[in-house]
Amino acid sequence: MLWQQVPYVTAALFLAFTLQSTVGFGGGLVAIPILLLAGFSLPQAIAISLVAGFVHTAYNCYRYREHIPWRFVWPMFLYRAPMLPLGLYLMTLITEAGQSLAKQIVGAAVGIAVLIQLFARVQPRDHLHPALLPLAASTSGLSAATIGMGGPPLVLWIMAHDWPANRSRACLWTLFITWIPLQLAAMIAMETFMHTTPVAALSAWTLAFIPVILLATLFGNAIGKRLNRNRLRFFAYALLLVIAAVAITSPLL
Protein backbone atom coordinates (compact mmCIF):
# COMPACT_ATOMS: atom_id res chain seq x y z
CA MET A 1 0.00 0.00 0.00
CA LEU A 2 1.38 3.40 -0.99
CA TRP A 3 1.19 6.26 1.50
CA GLN A 4 -0.70 8.27 -1.12
CA GLN A 5 -3.45 5.64 -0.99
CA VAL A 6 -3.94 5.81 2.78
CA PRO A 7 -6.44 8.75 2.66
CA TYR A 8 -8.51 6.89 0.05
CA VAL A 9 -8.58 3.71 2.13
CA THR A 10 -9.51 5.72 5.23
CA ALA A 11 -12.35 7.49 3.43
CA ALA A 12 -13.59 4.29 1.75
CA LEU A 13 -13.69 2.29 4.97
CA PHE A 14 -15.22 5.06 7.06
CA LEU A 15 -17.96 5.72 4.52
CA ALA A 16 -18.58 2.02 3.87
CA PHE A 17 -18.97 0.95 7.48
CA THR A 18 -20.86 4.04 8.55
CA LEU A 19 -23.40 3.10 5.88
CA GLN A 20 -23.29 -0.59 6.84
CA SER A 21 -23.98 0.25 10.49
CA THR A 22 -26.68 2.77 9.65
CA VAL A 23 -28.87 0.83 7.22
CA GLY A 24 -27.54 -2.73 7.65
CA PHE A 25 -25.95 -3.21 4.22
CA GLY A 26 -23.64 -1.58 1.70
CA GLY A 27 -20.13 -2.05 3.13
CA GLY A 28 -18.63 -3.85 0.14
CA LEU A 29 -20.83 -1.97 -2.33
CA VAL A 30 -19.18 1.27 -1.20
CA ALA A 31 -15.64 0.20 -0.33
CA ILE A 32 -14.69 -1.90 -3.35
CA PRO A 33 -15.57 0.62 -6.12
CA ILE A 34 -13.78 3.43 -4.25
CA LEU A 35 -10.70 1.25 -3.70
CA LEU A 36 -10.65 0.36 -7.40
CA LEU A 37 -10.82 4.05 -8.26
CA ALA A 38 -7.88 4.60 -5.85
CA GLY A 39 -5.74 2.24 -7.91
CA PHE A 40 -6.06 -1.08 -6.09
CA SER A 41 -6.63 -4.21 -8.16
CA LEU A 42 -9.85 -6.17 -7.71
CA PRO A 43 -8.25 -8.87 -5.47
CA GLN A 44 -6.58 -6.17 -3.36
CA ALA A 45 -9.82 -4.22 -2.97
CA ILE A 46 -11.65 -7.40 -1.96
CA ALA A 47 -8.93 -8.32 0.55
CA ILE A 48 -9.08 -4.90 2.22
CA SER A 49 -12.88 -5.11 2.35
CA LEU A 50 -12.77 -8.62 3.83
CA VAL A 51 -10.39 -7.73 6.66
CA ALA A 52 -12.25 -4.52 7.46
CA GLY A 53 -15.57 -6.35 7.25
CA PHE A 54 -14.37 -8.97 9.72
CA VAL A 55 -13.55 -6.28 12.30
CA HIS A 56 -16.92 -4.59 11.77
CA THR A 57 -19.01 -7.76 11.89
CA ALA A 58 -17.11 -9.25 14.84
CA TYR A 59 -18.04 -6.21 16.93
CA ASN A 60 -21.68 -6.32 15.88
CA CYS A 61 -22.00 -10.11 16.17
CA TYR A 62 -20.84 -9.87 19.77
CA ARG A 63 -23.31 -7.08 20.52
CA TYR A 64 -26.25 -9.01 18.99
CA ARG A 65 -25.09 -12.56 19.79
CA GLU A 66 -28.35 -13.54 21.48
CA HIS A 67 -30.28 -12.79 18.26
CA ILE A 68 -28.22 -14.97 15.87
CA PRO A 69 -30.36 -17.63 14.11
CA TRP A 70 -27.71 -20.35 13.94
CA ARG A 71 -30.05 -22.91 12.37
CA PHE A 72 -30.05 -20.78 9.20
CA VAL A 73 -26.43 -19.61 9.32
CA TRP A 74 -24.70 -22.97 8.91
CA PRO A 75 -26.86 -24.28 6.04
CA MET A 76 -26.29 -20.98 4.23
CA PHE A 77 -22.53 -21.37 4.72
CA LEU A 78 -22.58 -24.90 3.34
CA TYR A 79 -24.37 -23.76 0.18
CA ARG A 80 -22.09 -20.72 -0.26
CA ALA A 81 -18.76 -22.49 0.14
CA PRO A 82 -18.87 -24.65 -3.05
CA MET A 83 -19.18 -21.49 -5.15
CA LEU A 84 -15.84 -20.15 -3.92
CA PRO A 85 -13.55 -21.83 -6.52
CA LEU A 86 -15.67 -20.70 -9.47
CA GLY A 87 -15.93 -17.18 -8.06
CA LEU A 88 -12.18 -16.87 -7.52
CA TYR A 89 -11.57 -18.12 -11.05
CA LEU A 90 -13.91 -15.43 -12.41
CA MET A 91 -12.19 -12.83 -10.22
CA THR A 92 -8.87 -13.84 -11.77
CA LEU A 93 -10.29 -13.52 -15.29
CA ILE A 94 -11.65 -10.05 -14.55
CA THR A 95 -8.33 -8.97 -13.04
CA GLU A 96 -6.39 -10.20 -16.06
CA ALA A 97 -8.77 -8.33 -18.37
CA GLY A 98 -7.64 -5.03 -16.86
CA GLN A 99 -8.51 -2.39 -14.29
CA SER A 100 -10.92 -0.53 -16.55
CA LEU A 101 -13.15 -3.56 -17.07
CA ALA A 102 -12.99 -4.42 -13.37
CA LYS A 103 -14.26 -0.93 -12.47
CA GLN A 104 -17.13 -1.18 -14.95
CA ILE A 105 -18.17 -4.68 -13.84
CA VAL A 106 -18.11 -3.68 -10.18
CA GLY A 107 -19.96 -0.44 -10.91
CA ALA A 108 -22.62 -2.29 -12.89
CA ALA A 109 -23.00 -4.83 -10.07
CA VAL A 110 -23.52 -2.05 -7.52
CA GLY A 111 -26.13 -0.38 -9.73
CA ILE A 112 -28.00 -3.63 -10.34
CA ALA A 113 -27.95 -4.49 -6.62
CA VAL A 114 -29.42 -1.11 -5.73
CA LEU A 115 -32.13 -1.27 -8.39
CA ILE A 116 -33.16 -4.78 -7.30
CA GLN A 117 -33.46 -3.67 -3.69
CA LEU A 118 -35.37 -0.55 -4.74
CA PHE A 119 -37.94 -2.28 -6.93
CA ALA A 120 -38.17 -5.81 -5.52
CA ARG A 121 -41.47 -6.20 -3.73
CA VAL A 122 -40.55 -8.58 -0.94
CA GLN A 123 -43.44 -9.59 1.30
CA PRO A 124 -42.17 -10.82 4.69
CA ARG A 125 -43.65 -14.16 5.75
CA ASP A 126 -43.21 -16.76 8.46
CA HIS A 127 -41.90 -19.52 6.17
CA LEU A 128 -40.16 -19.41 2.79
CA HIS A 129 -39.95 -22.06 0.10
CA PRO A 130 -36.98 -24.33 0.98
CA ALA A 131 -35.40 -23.78 -2.46
CA LEU A 132 -34.87 -20.07 -1.74
CA LEU A 133 -32.19 -20.73 0.86
CA PRO A 134 -29.74 -22.57 -1.44
CA LEU A 135 -30.55 -20.14 -4.28
CA ALA A 136 -29.72 -17.07 -2.17
CA ALA A 137 -26.70 -18.72 -0.59
CA SER A 138 -25.10 -19.98 -3.81
CA THR A 139 -25.70 -16.66 -5.60
CA SER A 140 -24.18 -14.84 -2.65
CA GLY A 141 -21.15 -17.13 -2.55
CA LEU A 142 -20.47 -16.65 -6.25
CA SER A 143 -20.78 -12.85 -6.18
CA ALA A 144 -18.75 -12.58 -2.96
CA ALA A 145 -15.87 -14.59 -4.41
CA THR A 146 -15.99 -12.86 -7.81
CA ILE A 147 -16.34 -9.19 -6.89
CA GLY A 148 -16.51 -9.13 -3.08
CA MET A 149 -20.22 -8.29 -2.93
CA GLY A 150 -22.16 -11.22 -1.54
CA GLY A 151 -24.59 -9.20 0.53
CA PRO A 152 -27.50 -8.33 -1.80
CA PRO A 153 -28.87 -11.91 -2.26
CA LEU A 154 -28.64 -12.44 1.50
CA VAL A 155 -30.38 -9.12 2.20
CA LEU A 156 -33.31 -10.06 -0.05
CA TRP A 157 -33.59 -13.50 1.56
CA ILE A 158 -33.53 -12.01 5.07
CA MET A 159 -36.03 -9.28 4.12
CA ALA A 160 -38.46 -12.01 3.04
CA HIS A 161 -38.62 -13.28 6.64
CA ASP A 162 -40.96 -11.78 9.19
CA TRP A 163 -38.13 -11.23 11.65
CA PRO A 164 -37.40 -8.45 14.16
CA ALA A 165 -34.72 -5.99 13.05
CA ASN A 166 -32.14 -7.27 15.53
CA ARG A 167 -32.53 -10.87 14.33
CA SER A 168 -32.22 -9.80 10.67
CA ARG A 169 -29.07 -7.79 11.31
CA ALA A 170 -27.50 -10.50 13.46
CA CYS A 171 -28.17 -13.09 10.76
CA LEU A 172 -26.58 -10.96 8.02
CA TRP A 173 -23.51 -10.11 10.09
CA THR A 174 -22.99 -13.74 11.11
CA LEU A 175 -23.24 -14.88 7.50
CA PHE A 176 -20.50 -12.38 6.68
CA ILE A 177 -18.17 -13.30 9.53
CA THR A 178 -18.37 -17.04 8.86
CA TRP A 179 -17.51 -16.48 5.19
CA ILE A 180 -14.68 -13.96 5.43
CA PRO A 181 -11.92 -16.27 6.83
CA LEU A 182 -12.67 -18.86 4.14
CA GLN A 183 -12.38 -16.45 1.21
CA LEU A 184 -9.38 -14.61 2.61
CA ALA A 185 -7.53 -17.87 3.28
CA ALA A 186 -8.28 -19.05 -0.26
CA MET A 187 -6.99 -15.80 -1.76
CA ILE A 188 -3.76 -15.96 0.28
CA ALA A 189 -3.32 -19.61 -0.76
CA MET A 190 -3.68 -18.55 -4.41
CA GLU A 191 -1.00 -15.91 -3.87
CA THR A 192 1.32 -18.46 -2.23
CA PHE A 193 0.94 -21.37 -4.62
CA MET A 194 -0.26 -19.80 -7.88
CA HIS A 195 1.57 -16.45 -7.62
CA THR A 196 -1.58 -14.42 -8.17
CA THR A 197 -2.05 -10.81 -7.03
CA PRO A 198 -0.38 -10.27 -3.61
CA VAL A 199 -2.97 -9.78 -0.88
CA ALA A 200 -1.42 -11.15 2.34
CA ALA A 201 0.70 -8.11 3.23
CA LEU A 202 -2.12 -5.74 2.27
CA SER A 203 -4.52 -7.69 4.50
CA ALA A 204 -2.13 -7.22 7.42
CA TRP A 205 -1.81 -3.51 6.65
CA THR A 206 -5.60 -3.18 6.79
CA LEU A 207 -5.49 -3.99 10.51
CA ALA A 208 -3.95 -0.54 11.02
CA PHE A 209 -7.37 0.89 10.08
CA ILE A 210 -9.20 -0.81 12.97
CA PRO A 211 -9.75 2.54 14.77
CA VAL A 212 -11.34 3.96 11.60
CA ILE A 213 -13.60 0.92 11.22
CA LEU A 214 -14.72 0.96 14.87
CA LEU A 215 -15.32 4.71 14.78
CA ALA A 216 -17.43 4.31 11.63
CA THR A 217 -19.36 1.46 13.28
CA LEU A 218 -20.16 3.51 16.38
CA PHE A 219 -21.00 6.58 14.31
CA GLY A 220 -23.28 4.60 12.00
CA ASN A 221 -25.06 2.91 14.91
CA ALA A 222 -25.71 6.32 16.48
CA ILE A 223 -27.09 7.75 13.24
CA GLY A 224 -29.29 4.71 12.70
CA LYS A 225 -30.95 5.18 16.08
CA ARG A 226 -31.68 8.88 15.61
CA LEU A 227 -32.70 9.40 11.98
CA ASN A 228 -35.68 8.19 9.96
CA ARG A 229 -34.85 4.81 8.41
CA ASN A 230 -36.63 5.50 5.10
CA ARG A 231 -34.64 8.70 4.60
CA LEU A 232 -31.44 6.89 5.46
CA ARG A 233 -32.19 4.21 2.88
CA PHE A 234 -32.95 6.85 0.25
CA PHE A 235 -29.60 8.52 0.95
CA ALA A 236 -27.82 5.14 0.87
CA TYR A 237 -29.34 4.20 -2.49
CA ALA A 238 -28.52 7.62 -3.95
CA LEU A 239 -24.93 7.40 -2.76
CA LEU A 240 -24.50 3.89 -4.16
CA LEU A 241 -25.92 4.89 -7.53
CA VAL A 242 -23.47 7.82 -7.74
CA ILE A 243 -20.57 5.50 -6.88
CA ALA A 244 -21.78 3.00 -9.50
CA ALA A 245 -22.01 5.70 -12.16
CA VAL A 246 -18.50 6.99 -11.39
CA ALA A 247 -17.03 3.46 -11.50
CA ILE A 248 -18.72 2.69 -14.84
CA THR A 249 -17.84 5.96 -16.55
CA SER A 250 -14.34 6.65 -15.12
CA PRO A 251 -12.55 4.39 -17.68
CA LEU A 252 -14.26 6.33 -20.47
CA LEU A 253 -13.09 9.76 -19.32
Query: Is the sign of the CA dihedral 190, 57, 124, 22 positive or negative?
Result: negative
Q: How confident is the model at residue 118 (pLDDT cuts 50, 70, 90)?
A: confident
> Average pLDDT in the 37-53 region?
94
Q: Which of 3-17, 20-34, 85-99, 125-139 has the lowest mean pLDDT?
A: 20-34
What does pTM read for this prediction?
0.92
Does residue 2 register a pLDDT over 70? no
Average pLDDT of the residues in 192-208: 89
pLDDT band at 1 (very low <50, low <70, confident <90, very high): low
- 142 confidence band (pLDDT: 50, 70, 90): very high
Query: pLDDT: is 121 or 127 the higher one?
Result: 127
Which pLDDT band holds residue 67 (cuts at 50, 70, 90)? very high
230-251 confidence digits (pLDDT tens) = 777 788 888 889 999 999 999 8
The full set of domain ranges for the chain reads: 3-252
Is residue 226's pLDDT more than 90?
A: no
The better pLDDT of the pair 224, 35 is held by 35
| Per-residue pLDDT, 125 | 82
Q: What is the pLDDT of residue 48?
A: 95
**pLDDT tens for each residue of 75-97:** 999 999 999 999 999 999 999 99
- How high is the pLDDT of residue 215? 93
